[in-house]
Amino acid sequence: MPKKKDEMITMAHGAGGEIMGELIKDEIMSRLKKSSKHVQVPLSALEDSSVVNNTVFTTDSYVVKPIFFPGGDIGRLAVSGTVNDLSVMGCKPLALSLGLVIEEGLPISEVRKILGSIAKTANEANVPIVTGDTKVVERGALDKMIINTSGIGMSWPPLEKNIKVVKEHRKFKGGWLRDSNLRPGDKLILTGYIGDHGVAILSFREGYGFESTIKSDVRPLNKMIRKALMAGGVVSAKDPTRGGLSNALNEWSEKSKVGILIEESKVPIREGVRSACEMLGIDPLTIGNEGKCIIGVVKERAEAVLKAIRSTEEGKKAAIIGEATKEVRGVVMRTFVGGKRIIETPAGDPIPRIC
Amino acid sequence: MPKKKDEMITMAHGAGGEIMGELIKDEIMSRLKKSSKHVQVPLSALEDSSVVNNTVFTTDSYVVKPIFFPGGDIGRLAVSGTVNDLSVMGCKPLALSLGLVIEEGLPISEVRKILGSIAKTANEANVPIVTGDTKVVERGALDKMIINTSGIGMSWPPLEKNIKVVKEHRKFKGGWLRDSNLRPGDKLILTGYIGDHGVAILSFREGYGFESTIKSDVRPLNKMIRKALMAGGVVSAKDPTRGGLSNALNEWSEKSKVGILIEESKVPIREGVRSACEMLGIDPLTIGNEGKCIIGVVKERAEAVLKAIRSTEEGKKAAIIGEATKEVRGVVMRTFVGGKRIIETPAGDPIPRIC
């Protein structure tokens, strides 16, 4: 694994882990003036979103290869990914921006298809695209297309109702569903099968053939998360994208300063994904997902929230996979055979360019 | 010039003109559900920014080539461009997002330099970077680096004060400095020399040599625009980036449904830019700028606003270059020799990848 002092940018710098974080911290955060009073959750808190003037603000660039893949395309991904980043903060996604960068020579029919997919997914999520920008670069200066979507969101009654329910059961600061909100005893709900997105793209790209049965799970999750909030008792939520479930759980554990124990037998994984991962030597817990989230709930409300999530199409395979606990440090998984395995933050991206 | 029905994306699709606008309209705007009640100025109004839940929201992707150029770099450009898009709406820029896409193999020293420039420019504008995302793509899949910055802004006392002054002189709906706000009689202030940015980049890239004397004008303009608002009487403002002054004036004329008459002798152009443009056969009015804006002011306040702008470093060469009028249709320039020239929306980009 390359170190910070290496002279060239490597794929690991894009793996969403520590390496780029250090660069950003060194060069930007250390030099920026103290943030203004409008910034309630600045970048230095290192969540995917920031809260400014009571508006949640997030951004993501999408470089998936290929731009059409089994179960979706870069347009559906760009809308879903940013809607989901907003949604896991507990807010109502209000609007998205759309920044297209296109390679000269790309067939217009493909651009139309992507734009159509963007509109369809925005309608599905019921979040409008309100501002945009398009750039074209000469042939060879880009691999087909890159999309950036940024998004803004605001607090809304389902979040307020949810917080009220949380407070009936334990002390809670309120506000957003921060990564630091997990406490010992909270139950962790995973909303469905993991690994589908990464395996589908890798398999399609490399021609392994698994993609005939495994499709990307890419979809907006705001409606499902709204249902969970309406049930009440949710304290935190994360979307296990880059770095997969391993990365998400470790971020949670670190920011909430709490141990996490999960049961391997409870983690929903399709048989096809499991066997593909075994063949390819990839840990399914480290693969990025684009239509799943993991939700922390006060224990008294875990069954009610699970039921609400399972009542949705996108959450029907949801399961309680574990809990926050004082009994372990970091993230630990009890395996099928009853042993314990430490789950670490993945060092790099097992599969590049899946988002 | 390629037409919409051409089969491939061409550089003209990125020229910020009608061609891409039609694609976006066909595929996205026509399919999106009616925007929610939170959207006050949707994309369909075709401003660079949108207003959602009283928050101004904008996005831009930057693909400038090369990433370091005389007078600036892609980082300074990405911060300034988005701060300026917010500022011309009259709002206070609150926060920016930063989406980096980097080619594997780029020297880390260059990335550090760009990040440092981003921090420096954000400090200069006093606008924090609050959220970000970094992707790395394999060597050859991108020409070094693309940056997306999105931004949010809010109404503030200088805008409210300004509107109060406008209303002392004529009817005014209030709200933001929309493109549709210009009325016959309003004076147009250009805040300095045009053409510097495009000529500096083109010359440096192609080795023409003009860049030894001409540097990009890239800089954040929010402090200068604040001064103009504090003077009072500003009705609309635009930053003449892609398509230059010609494009900005034509957009204004169309959206405000008013003629615009400018005086060639009043438009500030450096002698070096003028001769470079003559040699290269490029109309300086069509070249993109990154540190200028054009401000519409009620005529009674034109001198006061001009004085306020000239009191700033970035606006010291400002001039009243013309006015909105019923006496012409579209945009007309009275030439040095007293003739009249129709100024049209540029068909394509005279210089690609300058922003």
| C-alpha R_g of chain A | 20
Task: Mutate one of A57, A103, A143 to test the B interface: name it (highest B CB count within 10 A).
Answer: A57
Half-sphere exposure at residue A180, Cβ-oriented, CA atoms within 13 angstroms: 9
What is the spatial distance between Cα B239 and Cα B290, in angstroms, rounded to a whole number? 8
Q: Given B94, B101, B111, which is nearest A53 (Cβ)?
A: B94
**Partners of residue B95 in chain A, C-beta under 8 Å:** 38-39, 50, 52, 57
- Identify the CA nearest to A191 among candidates A160, A156, A227: A227
The predicted model scores a pTM of 0.94
User: Searching chain B, which residue's CA lies closest to the CA of residue A43?
Assistant: B130
Q: How far apart are CA A101 and CA A147, in angstroms?
A: 6
- Tens digit of pLDDT for each residue in B72-120? 999 999 999 999 999 999 999 999 999 999 999 999 999 989 999 999 9
Partners of A100 in beta bridges? A134, A147
State the pLDDT at residue B2.
45
Residue of B nearest to A131 (CA): B43
Query: CA of B201, closest CA in chain A: separation in Å?
Result: 16
DSSP string, A140-194: TSBSSEEEEEEEEEE--HHHHHHHHHHHHHS----SS--GGG--TT-EEEE-S--
Contact between chains at A148 and B43 (C-beta distance less than 8 A): no
Distance to chain B for A327, nearest Cα, Å: 34
Q: Positive or negative, the Cα torsion across A279, A321, A49, A1?
A: negative
Mean pLDDT throughout B31-45? Answer: 59
**Which residue of A44, A135, A154, A242 to mutate against B (max B Cβ within 10 Å)?**
A135
Is A351:A202 a contact under the CB 8 Å cutoff? yes
Say yes or no for a CB contact (<8 Å) between B123 and A31.
Answer: yes
The yes-or-no verdict on residue A145 having pLDDT over 70 is yes
Pick the residue from chain B with its C-alpha nearest to A62: B135
In chain B, the percentage of residues whose pLDDT exceeds 70 is 92
**How many of the other CB atoms lie within 10 Å of CB of A126?**
14
Assign A50 to helix, strand or coil: strand
A11-20, A177-186, A303-312, B94-103 — which is least confidently predicted? A11-20
Instruction: Give the chain B residue whose CA is nearest to the CA of A103.
Output: B9
Query: Rounded to a whole number, what is the distance in Å from the CA of A81 to chain B's nearest CA?
Result: 12
Test B27 with A59 for CB contact under 8 angstroms: no
Query: In this structure, are residues B176 and B41 in contact, taking their beta carbons and an 8 Å threshold?
Result: yes
Min Cα separation A3/chain B (Å): 11
What is the distance between the alpha carbons of residues B196 and B198, in angstroms, rounded to a whole number? 6
Pull the structure tokens for residue A127: 């979040």
| pLDDT range class, residue A40, cuts 50, 70, 90 | low
Contact residues, chain A, for B28 at CB < 8 Å: 98, 115, 118-119, 122, 129
B10–A150 C-beta distance less than 8 A: no
Separation in Å, CA of A125 to nearest CA in chain B: 11
pLDDT of residue A46: 47
For residue A6, pLDDT beyond 60: no
H-run or E-run covering B234? strand B234-238
The pLDDT assigned to A1 comes to: 46
Q: Among A157-161, A292-296, B59-63, B351-355, whose mean pLDDT is lowest?
A: B351-355
Q: How far is B67 from chain A (nearest CA, A)?
A: 13
Q: How high is the mean pLDDT of chain B? A: 91
B20, pLDDT greater than 80: no
Separation of alpha carbons A226 and B201, rounded Å: 49
**Contact, B259 vs B326, CB < 8 A?**
yes
What is the rounded CA–CA span in Å between residue A166 and residue A229? Answer: 10
What residue has token string 């020293």? B109
Report d(CA B89, CA B77) in Å as an integer: 19
Q: Which residue of B has its CA nearest to A128?
A: B35
Alpha helices in chain A (DSSP H): 18-24, 74-87, 108-125, 157-169, 196-206, 222-231, 244-256, 271-280, 302-310
Per-residue pLDDT, averaged over A165-175, amounts to 92
Does A341 score more than 50 pLDDT?
A: yes
For residue B11, what is the nearest residue in chain A, using CA coordinates?
A136
Cβ separation A8–B103 shorter than 8 A:
no
Predicted-complex ipTM score: 0.93
Please write the tens of the pLDDT for every residue from A66-94.
999 999 999 999 999 999 999 999 999 99
| Mean pLDDT of the B198-223 span | 93
Please count the other Cβ atoms lying within 10 Å of the Cβ belonging to residue B175: 15
Give the tens place of pLDDT for each residue, A224-266. 999 999 999 999 999 999 899 999 999 999 999 999 999 999 9
Provide the residue count of chain A. 355
Contacting residues of B for A150, CB less than 8 Å apart: 57, 59, 97, 99, 148, 150
Considering CB atoms only, which of B42, B58, B108 is closest to A128?
A: B42
Smallest CA–CA distance, residue B340 to chain A, in Å, is 34
Q: Which of A33, A48, A143 sits opposite B137 (nearest CB)?
A: A143
Given this model, what pLDDT does residue B37 score?
63
Enter the tokens of residue A204: 């399609």
Local confidence band at B38 (pLDDT 50, 70, 90 cut-offs): low
Distance of CA A225 to the CA centre of its chain: 13
Q: Given pLDDT bands bounded at 50, 70 and 90, which one contains residue A16?
A: low
| Alpha carbon of B82: minimum distance to chain A alpha carbons (Å) | 11
> What distance in Å separates the CA atoms of residue A52 and residue A154, rounded to the nearest whole number?
10
Indicate the residue of A11, A31, A133 with minimum beta-carbon distance to B60: A133
Q: Test A9 with B111 for CB contact under 8 angstroms.
A: yes
The DSSP secondary structure of B149-193, one letter per residue, reads EEEEEE--HHHHHHHHHHHHHS----SS--GGG--TT-EEEE-S-
pLDDT in tens, A281-317: 999 999 999 999 999 999 999 999 999 999 999 999 9
The number of residues in chain B equals 355
Q: Give the integer Cα–Cα distance in Å for B273 and B243.
A: 16
- The proportion of chain B whose per-residue pLDDT surpasses 90, expressed as a percent, equals 77
Residues in A closer than 8 angstroms to B106, CB to CB, are 8-9
Contact B57 A131 (CB under 8 A): yes
Average pLDDT over residues A2-13: 70
Are the CB atoms for A80 and A125 separated by under 8 Å? yes
Fill in the amino acid letter for A247. N
Q: What is residue B139's DSSP assignment?
A: T
pLDDT band for position B26 (cuts 50, 70, 90): confident
**CA distance, residue B184 to nearest chain A CA (Å):** 29
Beta-carbon contacts of residue A251 (< 8 Å; ≥ 6 apart): A179, A238, A345
Inter-chain touch B152–A38, beta carbons under 8 Å: no
Q: In this complex, do B6 and A108 lie within 8 Å of one another by their Cβ atoms?
A: yes
- The answer to whether A107 and A72 are in contact (CB under 8 A) is no
Average pLDDT, chain A: 91
pLDDT band at A2 (very low <50, low <70, confident <90, very high): very low
Determine how β-strand B49-52 pairs with β-strand B129-137.
unpaired
CA distance B243 to B239: 10
